Each structure stands twice: as C-alpha cells, then as structure tokens.
Amino acid sequence: AAAPPQGRQRAGDGARMLGYGGYDNRGLGFGGYRRPVVPPPTPESLKSQIEDLEWQLKGRLSEVEQQLAELREMCGMATPHGGDPRGIYSGKGNDRGGVAGGLWLMDEPSKQYDLGFEPGIWQEDTGGHVTINDLEERDGHVFEGSVWDCGVFVGLDCMGPVVSLSLALIILLNVFVQAAFCYLIYFFMLDDPVGEDTLSGLLRFRTSVAHSALYADQVSQQSLANQVCAMDVGLHWANAQVEFVKNVRDA
C-alpha cells in the first residue's frame, strides 16, 4: 500500500501528540485531512471535575454565610423590639402559640421552620408582645374590592403620587354619589304614611261614605262605619274583608 502524503502524516502525528489517539475513518476534515477521534472522559477526569465543583460550592457557601451574619447583625441593630429580628419573640423556642408576627416558613400545618435566629443571642422579652389569643379575641377587617378600602393605601410611597391622587379622587366621587343617592331617596322616594294628602282622603271617605246617610241602615239607623266595626251580618262580606276587619279589631 502506498504511504500517505507527508501533510497527512504530519497531521496524524500532531493528533497523536495531542492525545486524540488516531483518525476518524468515517470522513475527511477540511483540506482532505481525517478528523481526530475524541475519546470519552475517564473516571479520573470526572472525579477531578466534581472535586473542583465541590470546592467552588464550598466557597460560595462561605460567602453566603458571611453575608447572612452581616444581615443578622444589621437586623439586631435596627429592630425596636429588643434586638429581635422577628419583631416579637416569646422565648419558648419554636412554639408557634407564643409567637405573633414572626418570620416563619410554613410548608404544612404540622411543620414550622424558623429562619435560624437563636433565642439565646437576643435580649429577654419585655412583656409587651401580642399573643395569638389576643389577636383571636379582637375584631378583624378583611380587605375587599371596595372603594372604601382604597383610602388605606393613599399616600404610600409604593403607590406613587399619580395613583394616590387617582384613588383620592375616586373616593371623593364615591362620597358625592352616596350623598346624592341618600338625598334622592329621602326627599323623593319616601312617602309620609300620615301626610296631608292621606289625612284629607280619610276625611273625605268618612264624610262621604263611612258616615253618610246614603249608606246607612234605615232600620237600625247605623252608619256604614258602625256596621263594619260591629261586623253586621246584613252586609255582604268577602273572606278577605272579614280577615282584614278581624285583624284591625284585634290590633
């Protein structure tokens, strides 16, 4: 067999020097040279890579722990509750019944995870904390999709001036609409049960019908009103009328 050209021989020597271990006979690369075969990684190389990643992870963990320690120190200096970063601490370890308003991570009702603040490194409780029982005995308020609840958020920095102004205008508009609605109901939708029109109608009925001689009994000389009050059997009664008169007499 003829020897390969000198250029190919040099490429093969270079590939062997780099540790590729031979040629790839499945195809040719650029310029007519065969592509070198890359062997799979060995267990030793994988182990070294894993060790490098482990050392990098340990370094990052140490940095995170240092930052957490700085945050704990800052929280202890800034909290007004005796250096307790959770705000309120009862001194009972991880007892949920004695802690109100603390920082907790709740995965399940039966599991409670503290953020790692030890009770011994903070000052003692001053007796001014609020327990869960105190909170349950007080009346609470649930925010709903109502305009009246928007007044709580007016003026907050997180809302911004434009949103706060819009909320204030909406609240004022709602107050105006409520006042106008109450005015319309009070003056135009409520009828006085003993008004002038009602009294005049009752007087006309009494003089023209109830005590008129036209509707009086000629035998007993009783007016229609007296016959109705006495439930005279000579009148033509309907069942509804009888029940109504009985209710009026009983009242």
- Position 228 scores a pLDDT of 83
**Single-letter amino acid code for the residue at 240:** A
On the CB side of 194, how many CA atoms lie within 13 Å of its CA? 0
User: According to the model, what pLDDT value does residue 207 have?
Assistant: 85
Two structure tokens written together for 227: 């016959």
d(CA 204, CA 28): 122
Beta partners for residue 114, in sequence order: 104
pLDDT tens per residue, range 107-146: 444 444 444 444 444 445 555 666 666 666 666 666 677 7
Residues of the chain with pLDDT under 50: 1, 6-8, 10-30, 79-123
d(C-alpha 121, C-alpha 118), whole Å: 6
Would you state the pLDDT for residue 201? 87
Q: 């601490």: which residue's tokens?
A: 89
Could you give the count of Cα atoms lying within 13 Å of 99 in the half-sphere of its Cβ? 19
Say how many CA atoms lie within 13 Å of 98 toward its Cβ. Answer: 11
Q: Can you give the pLDDT at residue 179? A: 96
Task: Report how far residue 147's alpha carbon sits from residue 169's, in angstroms, rounded to the nearest whole number.
Answer: 11
DSSP state for residue 189 in the 8-state scheme: S
How far apart are the C-alpha atoms of 63 and 60, rounded to whole Å?
5
Confidence (pLDDT) at 143:
67
Model confidence pTM above 0.85: no
Confidence (pLDDT) at 108: 44
